[in-house]
Amino acid sequence: MDFQELTINMGPQHPSTHGVLFLQLKLDGEVIVDCQPHIGYLHRSIEKIAESRSLVQFMPFTDRLDYIASMNNNLGFCLAAEKLLGITASPRAQYLRVIVAELNRVASHLLAIGTFAQDLGAYATPLFYALRDREKIIQIFDKICGQRLTYNYLRIGGVAGDLPAGADQLIKDFMAYQRRILPEYHDLLTGNVIFCARSKNIGVLPKETAINYGVTGPNLRASGVAWDLRKDEPYLVYDKFDFNVVTGANGDSWDRYDVRMREIEESLKIIEQALGGLPEGDPVAKVNKVFRLNGEAYMRTENPRGELGFYIVGDGGPLPYRLKVRSPSFANLSVLSAMIKGMNISDAVCVLGSLDIVMGEIDR
- Backbone Cα Rg of the chain: 21
The CATH code belonging to domain 55-363 is 1.10.645.10
Contact call for residues 18 and 360 (beta carbons, < 8 A): no
Please give the model's pTM, rounded to 2 decimal places: 0.95
Other C-beta atoms within 10 Å of 38: how many? 12
Q: How far apart are CA 212 and CA 327, in angstroms?
A: 16
Burial class (CB in 10 A: 0-12, 13-18, 19+), 166: exposed
Phi, psi of 218 (to 5 degrees): -55, -30
User: Quick one: pLDDT band at residue 119, thresholds 50, 70, 90?
Assistant: confident
Beta-carbon contacts of 180 under 8 Å, excluding residues fewer than 6 positions away, are none
Whether residue 10 is predicted with pLDDT greater than 90 in this model: the reply is no
Nearest to 199 by CA among 123, 258, 246, 130: 258
User: In the chain, what's the furthest Cα-to-Cα distance?
Assistant: 78
Rounded alpha-carbon distances, angstroms, from residue 246 to 49, 108, 304? 37, 16, 13
Whether residue 90 is predicted with pLDDT greater than 80 in this model: the reply is yes
pLDDT of residue 16: 60
pLDDT of residue 63: 92
Average pLDDT score over residue span 209-230: 96
Mean pLDDT across the chain: 92
Contact call for residues 227 and 220 (beta carbons, < 8 A): yes
User: Quick one: pLDDT band at residue 100, thresholds 50, 70, 90?
Assistant: very high
Whether residue 17 is predicted with pLDDT greater than 80 in this model: the reply is no
Buried-state track 170-193, b at ≥16 Cβ within 10 A, e below 16 = bbeebbeebeeebeebeebbeebe
Average pLDDT score over residue span 219-225: 96
Rounded alpha-carbon distances, angstroms, from residue 350 to 31, 277, 297, 346? 15, 41, 38, 8
Sheet holding 31-38, edge to edge: 6-10, 22-28, 31-38
Query: What is the residue extent of each domain of the chain?
Result: 55-363
DSSP state of 121: T
